[in-house]
């Protein structure tokens, strides 16, 4: 009988190629994988275990927290704090840096995560996900601060997401392409099902929350208008549109069949540069998309080159099929 490649086997074999790898990183990824399995189980059981609905609390972004936002954050902390691989963690659901408690050894990596992405979808049984990014902790021995996390996306050691959809998947990059694994619940393992995922350069599918149209800038208005004009317009082809409102689900669709995803800068709230957060949404997803041959930009700059200024900083995001992203960027350059 053929046994598929488990994610553990895949990571160990990939790390073997790297000179000086100590096994620390492999072990960290294993703990992240465990956290994603526990979250998958909680999301899947849903109302049966009383985890649906909202709390009275707000997170640092002023969003009302869902019960599962807090539960999944806690699962990530518990799975990852004990092993000695991490120096600190940061997440959407924590205002400040989470220091590793003194009873555990402090390691050399930083973990940043969005424990439940698309959490507004959880009560209506639509796909949600988890996004994570691993950085090296600068400055040996010192307690990490928020500063320690403010590294450009190009510095990421690894990034990935888990998608809790019709099946649970984990998609991962360590900077050597992108690979997708599907959870086999009977054996409790993620099995390699989508090796070497690549994004086609061209697409006829775009994703944007069109209810914000009146707040968009000129270049995005122009791009979407031209898509809508279809065959008889300047693009000379018909486009399809999708909006799940879970970034993980949108990026996954783009990795599987191409497309462009935009949460652009808008004038709805002049204090915000965009909606999505740089460190735990835009950067990990941009790393994955670029590794799969796609592109990712704010419209004016490559996202992975941005120098972060705050843990919860927001940025405009335009990512996916290369030729389409480049077209939107070109429209920005003309203004
Ligand atoms: P989160 O649930 O982690 O706060 O993220 C939600 C994000 C993202 O996943 C999605 O693309 C976007 O918000 C949806 O925003 P709208 O509700 O404005 O469409
Ligand atoms: Mn949120
Ligand atoms: Mn999110
Ligand atoms: Mn979230």
Measured in angstroms, how far is the CA atom of residue 307 from the centroid of ligand 2?
Answer: 23
Sheet hosting strand 295-297, strand order edge to edge: 240-241, 205-207, 260-263, 317-320, 295-297
**Which ligand lies nearest the alpha carbon of 72?**
4
Instruction: Place 20 in a pLDDT band, splitting at 50, 70 and 90.
Output: confident
| ipTM of predicted complex | 0.96
Instruction: Place 12 in a pLDDT band, splitting at 50, 70 and 90.
Output: very high
pLDDT reported for residue 240: 98
For residue range 202-232, what is the model confidence (pLDDT) as tens digits? Answer: 999 999 999 999 999 999 999 999 999 999 9
pLDDT reported for residue 139: 85
Helix axes 24-45, 67-80, angle to 10 degrees: 150
User: Residue 120 annotated as binding?
Assistant: yes
Q: Is the pLDDT of residue 152 over 80?
A: yes
pLDDT reported for residue 122: 94
For residue range 108-127, what is the model confidence (pLDDT) as tens digits? Answer: 999 999 999 999 999 999 99
User: Residue 275 annotated as binding?
Assistant: yes
Mean pLDDT of 151-162: 98
Q: What is the domain partition of the chain in residue ranges?
A: 7-194, 205-334
Q: Whose CA is nearest to atom 15 of ligand 1?
A: 245
Domain spanning 205-334, CATH class: alpha beta
pLDDT reported for residue 21: 78
Task: Give me the architecture of the 7-194 domain, per CATH.
Answer: 2-Layer Sandwich (3.30)
User: Residue 118 annotated as binding?
Assistant: yes
SS (H, E, C) the chain: CCCCCEHHHHHHHHHHCCCCCCCHHHHHHHHHHHHHHHHHHHHHHHHHHCCCCEEEEECCCCCEEEHHHHHHHHHHHHHHCCCCCEEEEEECCCCCCEECCCCCCCCCEEEEEEEEECHHHHHHCCCEEEEEEEEECCCCCCCCCHHHHCCCHHHCCEEEEEEECCCEEEEEECCCCEEEEEEECCCCEEEEEECCCCCCCCCCEEECCHHHHHHECHHHHHHHHHHHCHHHCCCCCCCEECCCCCHHHHHHHHHHHCCEEEECCECCCCCCCCCEEHHHHHHHHHHHHHHCCCEEECCCCEHHHCCCCCCCCEECEEEECHHHHHHHHHHHHCC
With a 6 A CB cut-off, is 114 part of the ligand 1 pocket?
Answer: yes
**Which ligand lies nearest the alpha carbon of 122?**
1
pLDDT reported for residue 234: 97
Instruction: Place 2 in a pLDDT band, splitting at 50, 70 and 90.
Output: confident
Q: Is the pLDDT of residue 141 over 80?
A: no
Best mutation site among 57, 209, 241, 261 for ligand 1 pocket (most ligand atoms within 8 Å of CB): 209
CA–chain centroid gap for 111, Å, is 13
Distance CA 29, CA 196 (A): 19
Best mutation site among 60, 246, 284 for ligand 1 pocket (most ligand atoms within 8 Å of CB): 246
With a 6 A CB cut-off, is 266 part of the ligand 1 pocket?
Answer: no
The pTM for the full model equals: 0.97
**Which ligand lies nearest the alpha carbon of 245?**
1
User: Residue 116 annotated as binding?
Assistant: yes
Instruction: Place 19 in a pLDDT band, splitting at 50, 70 and 90.
Output: confident
The overall average pLDDT reported for the chain is 96
């Amino acid at each position: 009988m053929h046994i598929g490649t488990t994610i553990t086997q895949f990571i160990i074999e990939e790390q073997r190629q790297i000179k000086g790898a100590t096994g620390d990183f492999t072990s960290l990824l294993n703990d992240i994988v465990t956290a994603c399995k526990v979250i998958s189980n909680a999301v899947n059981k849903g109302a049966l275990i009383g985890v649906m609905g909202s709390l009275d609390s707000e997170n640092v972004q002023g969003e009302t927290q869902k019960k599962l936002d807090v539960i999944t954050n806690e699962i990530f902390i518990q799975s990852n704090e004990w092993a000695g691989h991490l120096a600190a963690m940061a997440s959407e659901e924590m205002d400040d840096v989470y220091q590793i408690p003194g009873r555990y050894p402090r390691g050399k990596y930083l973990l940043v995560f969005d424990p439940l992405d698309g959490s507004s979808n959880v009560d209506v049984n639509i796909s949600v996900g988890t996004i994570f990014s691993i950085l090296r902790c600068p400055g040996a021995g010192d307690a990490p601060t928020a500063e320690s996390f403010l590294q450009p996306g190009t510095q990421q050691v690894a990034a990935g997401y888990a998608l809790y959809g019709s099946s649970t998947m984990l998609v991962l990059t360590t900077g050597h392409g992108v690979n997708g694994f599907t959870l086999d619940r009977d054996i409790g393992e993620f099995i390699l099902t989508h090796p070497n995922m690549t994004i086609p350069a061209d697409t006829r599918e775009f994703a944007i929350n069109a209810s914000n149209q009146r707040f968009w800038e000129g270049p995005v208005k122009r791009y979407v208008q031209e898509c809508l004009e279809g065959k008889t317009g300047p693009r000379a082809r018909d486009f399809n549109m999708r909006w799940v409102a879970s970034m993980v689900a949108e990026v996954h669709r783009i990795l599987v069949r191409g497309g462009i995803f935009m949460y652009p800068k808008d004038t709805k709230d002049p204090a915000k540069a965009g909606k999505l957060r740089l460190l735990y949404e835009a950067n990990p997803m941009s790393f994955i998309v670029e590794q799969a041959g796609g592109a990712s930009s704010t419209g004016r700059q490559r996202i992975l080159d941005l120098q972060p200024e705050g843990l919860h900083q927001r940025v405009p995001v335009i990512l996916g099929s290369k030729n389409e992203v480049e077209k939107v960027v070109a429209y920005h350059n003309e203004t």
